[in-house]
Amino acid sequence: MDAIKKMKKEIKNPFPDGNCFFCGINNKFGLKLKFYWDEEKKEASTEYLPAKHFTGQGNILHGAIQMGLLDEIMGWTSYAFTEKMAVTSDINVKFLKPTYINREKIRITCQVTSKEGPKIKMYAKLFNIEGAVCTTAEGSYHLLSSEKYRGITSLIKIVPFENIHAAAFKQLNLEWLEAYELFEPADLKYLDNPLSNILEQGGKILMAITDNAVIGTCAIIIEKSNTAELAKLAVSPDVQGKGVGRMLAKESIKEARKMGLKKLFLVSNKKLNRAIQLYESFGFKHMPIPKDTIYKTADVYMELQIN
């Protein structure tokens, strides 16, 4: 089985709060399932060891749990196939053989059967340990536009930095700085001492949080009385592309206006094209890089007049 798993890629959980009963890592009553994608077969799969307390009749896994598992894998399949979230329109489940709770893992697989515009259809199968198909499901799902999908940002709160966020502030930033090979000692001034080097200098740090995790951050670092640097914008890789960075940048600009600042500037690097597109969409304008910048890797400099 391990060899098979190696050929498949784990599908990254697109839900930032991790509360889903079937797949959320933070739901203490949940099944914490992991889903894998086989690009060659275009097939999603997962395994589950049925828990005794999900018994229906005798030692048969309750049909509602089986239906839930089949529904869940269809959601993951459509996500792996289209990179969009989908909602269930209808499911037709066939119980062909009993699925026993007998300390053996069951396996569930799913493939897309058709896709037309926002409508996607899938077929999922639940196998027992002997490889016999016990239950099948045909499902129709509706793919959400990215706008609607971004409704998940309603689960996210933007809050001011507190000391308990210090480790996350550093970690979120170190992660991308190292990944893009842009880390330089100058970064540590702010990452190690945000309190004394940002907040006590009149700056602000915003944190994006869910009920259980810190998933993003952005700082306003005062340079002179009416000018500040927008810096250390980072979103956890697991939840990038879902509107969190936009929320943080928008709130930071709003905050900078409230602080009475006239101008925001930022230094960046051409490698960070997502961030640069984001800044451009808020009206930041490219300018020549000032000679006195403390960052050696900086090759992008932008400014935004805000008041």
Ligand X SMILES: CC(C)(COP(=O)(O)OP(=O)(O)OC[C@H]1O[C@@H](n2cnc3c(N)ncnc32)[C@H](O)[C@@H]1OP(=O)(O)O)[C@@H](O)C(=O)NCCC(=O)NCCS
Positions in the binding site for ligand X (CB under 6 A): 176, 233-235, 240-246, 268, 272, 274-275, 277-278, 281
In the complex, what is the shortest distance from the CB of residue 16 to ligand X, in angstroms, rounded to a whole number?
10
In the complex, what is the shortest distance from the CB of residue 281 to ligand X, in angstroms, rounded to a whole number?
5
List of long-range contacts for 6-11, beta carbons under 8 Å, 24+ apart: 7/38, 8/36, 8/37, 8/38, 8/45, 9/36, 9/37, 9/39, 10/34, 10/35, 10/36, 10/37, 11/35, 11/36, 11/37, 11/44, 11/76, 11/79, 11/80
What single-letter amino acid sits at 146?
S
In the complex, what is the shortest distance from the CB of residue 163 to ligand X, in angstroms, rounded to a whole number?
23
Instruction: Name the residue whose CB lies closest to ligand X.
Output: 245
Distance CA 307, CA 226 (A): 10
Q: Cβ closer to ligand X: 125 or 242? A: 242
In the complex, what is the shortest distance from the CB of residue 97 to ligand X, in angstroms, rounded to a whole number?
44
Distance CA 285, CA 307 (A): 15
Q: Cβ closer to ligand X: 135 or 236? A: 236
What single-letter amino acid sits at 41?
K
22, 13 Cβ separation under 8 angstroms: no
Q: Cβ closer to ligand X: 41 or 254? A: 254
In the complex, what is the shortest distance from the CB of residue 232 to ligand X, in angstroms, rounded to a whole number?
8
Q: Cβ closer to ligand X: 122 or 234? A: 234
Q: Cβ closer to ligand X: 57 or 277? A: 277
What single-letter amino acid sits at 261?
L
Closest CA to 255 of 184, 190, 289, 206: 206
In the complex, what is the shortest distance from the CB of residue 214 to ligand X, in angstroms, rounded to a whole number?
13
Q: Cβ closer to ligand X: 33 or 234? A: 234
CA distances to 1, 130, 214 from 36, rounded to whole Å, are 12, 20, 26
Q: Cβ closer to ligand X: 177 or 261? A: 177
In the complex, what is the shortest distance from the CB of residue 72 to ligand X, in angstroms, rounded to a whole number?
24
CA distances to 160, 193, 203 from 200, rounded to whole Å, are 14, 10, 7
Q: In what order do the strands lie in the sheet with 43-48?
A: 9-10, 36-38, 43-48, 106-116, 119-127, 133-143, 86-95
